[in-house]
Structure 1
Amino acid sequence: MNYLFIHQNMPGQWRHIVAHLAQQGGHRIVVLGRRQGEGSHKRPLVHAVPGVQYRSYRVHNRYEGFGGDQPGSAFDSFMVHGRAAAEVMQRLKAEGFTPDVIAAHPGWGESLFAKEVFPAVPLLHYCEFYYRSRGGDYGFIGERSLAREMNLRARNAGLSLSLEAMDWGLSPTAWQKSQHPADAHARMSVLHDGIDTDTVRPDPGARLLLPTGRVLSAQDEVLTFVARNLEPQRGFDQFLRAAERVQRLRPDAHVVIAGGEGVSYGKAPADGRSWKNHVLDLVRLDPLRTHFMGSLPFAEHVKLLQVSSVHAYLSIPFVLAWSMTEAMSAGCLLVGSDTAPVRELIRHGHNGLLVDYFDVDAIATTLADALARRAELQALRDAARATILASYDQQRHCVPRLARLLEDLAQGRRPEAPPPLPPQVLDAGTPSLLPSVAP
Structure 2
Amino acid sequence: MQGFAAQSGSIISPQVTEAAAIYMKILFIHQNFPGQYKHLAPLLARQGHQCVALTLRVKEATTWQGVRVLPYALPERDGQKLHPWLVDLDTKVTRGGACYRAASRIRDAGFEPDLILAHPGWGESMFLRDVWPKARMGLYCELYHHAGFPHLNFDPEFASKSPEVEPLRIRMKNLNNHLHFEFAHAGISPTAFQADTFPAPFRKRITLSHDGINTVQACPAPDVRLTIEGQCDVTRKDEVITFVNRNLEPYRGYHIFMRALPRLLRERPNATVLIVGGDEVSYGARAPKGKTWKQIFIDEVRDQISDADWERVRFLGRIPYDQFLRLLQVSRVHVYLTYPFVLSWSLLEAMSCGAAIVAGDTEPVREVIRDDETGRLVDFFDGDALVDQVCDLLDDPGARKRMGETARKMIRAKYDLQTICLPRQIDWVKDVMDQPL
TM-score between the two structures when normalised by the length of structure 2: 0.87
Q: CA deviation at 1:317?
A: 0.6
Q: Do 2:242 and 2:273's aligned partners in 1 also have CA atoms closer than 8 Å?
A: yes
C-alpha distance in 2, partners of 1:229/1:213? 19
**Closer, same or farther in 2 for the Cα pair 1:151/1:396, shift >3 Å?**
same
Is the 2:231–2:316 contact (alpha carbons within 8 Å) kept by the matching residues of 1? no
Task: Output the amino acid matched with 1:306.
Answer: Q
Change (3 A) 1:206 1:181: same
**Residue 274 of structure 2 aligns with which residue?**
256
* Structure 2 residue 66 is matched with structure 1 residue 51: yes
- Whole-angstrom CA distance in 2 between matches of 1:84 and 1:131: 25
Q: 2:381 aligned with 1:358, yes or no?
A: yes
Counterpart-to-counterpart distance in 2, 1:48 and 1:310: 40
- Separation in structure 1 between the aligned mates of residue 389 and residue 28 of structure 2, nearest angstrom: 43
Superposed, 1:139-288 pairs within 5 Å as 139-141=153-155, 142-144=158-160, 145=162, 146=164, 148-212=166-230, 214-283=232-301, 284-285=304-305, 286-288=309-311
Q: Distance in 2 between matches of 1:133 and 1:244?
A: 35
Contact kept in structure 2, 1:226 and 1:259, CA below 8 Å: yes
Q: Which residue of 1 aligns with 2:92?
A: 78
Alignment partners' CA distance in 2, 1:114 and 1:406: 18
SS of residue matched to 2:399: coil
Whole-angstrom CA distance in 2 between matches of 1:174 and 1:106: 19
Q: What do residues 60-91 of structure 1 show as CA deviations (whole Å, max 9, x unaligned)? A: 4779xxx9981122111121111211122222
Query: 1-side partners of 2:325 and 2:298: how far apart?
Result: 26
Instruction: From the superposition, tell whether residues 181 and 301 of structure 1 become closer, same or farther in structure 2 (CA, over 3 Å).
Output: same
For residues 97 and 186 of structure 2, what CA distance do their matches in structure 1 show? 22
Distance 1:48 1:296 in 2: 25
- The answer on whether the counterparts of 1:112 and 1:165 sit within 8 Å (CA) in structure 2 is no
Q: Which amino acid aligns with 1:372?
A: D
Percentage of matched positions with identical amino acids: 40
Q: 1:89 aligns with which of 91, 103, 106?
A: 103
Q: Supply the distance in 1 between the matched residues of 2:436 and 2:371 (Cα, whole angstroms).
A: 40
**Root-mean-square deviation over aligned CA pairs:** 2.3
AA partner of residue 219 (structure 2): R
How far is 1:135 from its partner? 3.4
Following superposition, the deviation at residue 361 of structure 1 comes to 1.0
1:133 Cα deviation from its structure 2 partner: 1.4
SS of corresponding position for 2:120: coil
In structure 1, distance between residues paired with 2:82 and 2:247: 19
On the 8 A contact 2:207/2:428 being kept in 1, the answer is no
Whether contact under 8 Å (1:70, 1:147) holds in the other structure is no
User: Could you list the per-position Cα deviations for residues 234-292 of structure 1 after superposition, in whole angstroms to 9, with x for gaps in the alignment?
Assistant: 00111111122111111111111011111111123225311111101111342221111
**In 2, distance between residues paired with 1:209 and 1:387?**
29
Q: Name segments (4+ residues, structure 1) moved above 4 Å.
A: 60-63, 411-414
The equivalent of 1:31 in structure 2 is: 53
Report what 1:294 is aligned to. Answer: 317
* 2:413 corresponds to: 390
The one-letter amino acid of 2:53's match is V
Q: Distance in 1 between matches of 2:195 and 2:77?
A: 30
Count of aligned residue pairs for this structure pair: 404
Unaligned runs of 5+ in 1: 38-43, 415-439
After superposition, the Cα gap between the structure-2 partners of 1:198 and 1:280, relative to the gap in structure 1 and judged at 3 Å, is: same
